[in-house]
Structure 1
Amino acid sequence: MNAKKEPSIWQGFKAFLMRGNVVDLAVAVVIGAAFTNIVNSVVKGLINPLVGAIGTQNLDHYSSCLSSSCKGDQGIHLMWGSVLGATLSFVITAAVVYFLMVLPMAKYLARVEARRKAREGTHEIIEVTELEVLKEIRDALIAQRGSVHDER
């Protein structure tokens, strides 16, 4: 009775950590955290002043009141400026990630795939041609055997 030894929890955890996608995810989180500072700077330094040309530079000050009287902290305030600021940050982040990372990587991978297919296509043509030549040689040898047997 040879019972297979199950991998230890430590070995399983080590295998999990060594997978490429875990390392990629860790790198993405670190880059994303650093990138957040850039996006926040763009929003505070460029977007908010542009919005400030119309009203206030701080989007958090834009709100609407649902109750009959809104004075200070009293009443029901809808803070739609905060939502707008977060949405702008998200859209800017998504656009930068798409145009500077995703799109170039997709184009690069498409080129690599096209080159691979071109190489495979070239090999297939050569293999098909070689196969046809081998069939012709086989047929010629069979024809020669037949003519040798007919002469005897």
Structure 2
Amino acid sequence: MSEKKESVWAGFKAFLTRGNVVDLAVAVVIGAAFTNIVNAVVKGIINPLVGAFGTKNLDSYSSCLKGPCEGTGDAATGVRILWGSVLGATLQFLITAAVVYFLMVLPMAKYLARVEARRKAKEGTQEVVEITELEVLKEIRDSLVAQRGPGGAER
């Protein structure tokens, strides 16, 4: 029973230390912190810009689909479509996606491309060195055969 607990613990430890899990945990923490920044940008910049053309809060934009739309919350009558809330959430998503792409994904892709190019260049030089060494060895062999003369292998 003790061995089983140790193997379960060892498996769990291996799972936690696996790179993907750690990367995912970091991404979740950064994403949660980043959400606050995006919300502040939308509430502090986007909503006032929208407010220049209408109300200051996107959540207040709505359309009445059926019946007279009076009241708010549970006391509301009619069918109200809150398209302002959807627009605000969409803007938050687009801002988040743009910042993540331009500040994280794109620079990382460029960095990985440079690392891969360096690796390929290094492999290419190693192949050239190996081919050159092989050619030198062939030349040495050919010159030794030439020194022996037409008689073939003498010992």
Tell me the TM-score normalized by structure 1.
0.89
Secondary structure, counterpart of 1:65 in structure 2: strand
Name 1:77's counterpart in structure 2: 80
Cα-to-partner distance string for 1:63-109 (whole Å, 9 max, x where unaligned): 11110321221100111111110000000000001111111111111
In structure 1, C-alpha distance between the alignment counterparts of 2:115 and 2:109, rounded to whole Å: 10
Q: Which runs of 5+ in 1 are unaligned?
A: none
Find the counterpart in structure 1 of residue 142 from structure 2. Answer: 139
Matched, 1:39 2:38: yes
Q: CA RMSD in A?
A: 1.9
CA distance in 2, matches of 1:131, 1:35: 56
Between the aligned partners of 1:53 and 1:24, the Cα distance in structure 2 is 41
3-state SS in 1 of match to 2:34? helix
Q: Structure 1 pair 115/69, CA: closer, same or farther in 2 (3 Å)?
A: same
Q: Which residue is equivalent to 2:61?
A: 62
1:97 corresponds in structure 2 to 100
Partner residue of 1:124 out of 122, 127, 139: 127
Shift of 1:145: 3.1
- Which residues of structure 2 form unaligned runs of 5+? none
Partner of 1:27: 26
**SS of structure 2 residue aligned to 1:54:** coil
Normalising by structure 2, report the TM-score.
Answer: 0.87
**SS of 2:66 mapped into structure 1:** coil
Would you say how many aligned residue pairs link Structure 1 and Structure 2? 147
Residue number in structure 1 paired with 2:118: 115
Q: C-alpha separation between the residues in 2 aligned to 1:124 and 1:150? A: 33
Letter of the structure 2 residue corresponding to residue 138 of structure 1:
R
Q: Percent identity?
A: 77
Query: Amino acid of the residue matched to residue 143 of structure 2?
Result: A
Secondary structure of residue in 2 paired with 1:66 = strand
| Secondary structure at 1:77 match in 2 | strand
The letter for the 1-side match of 2:116 is E
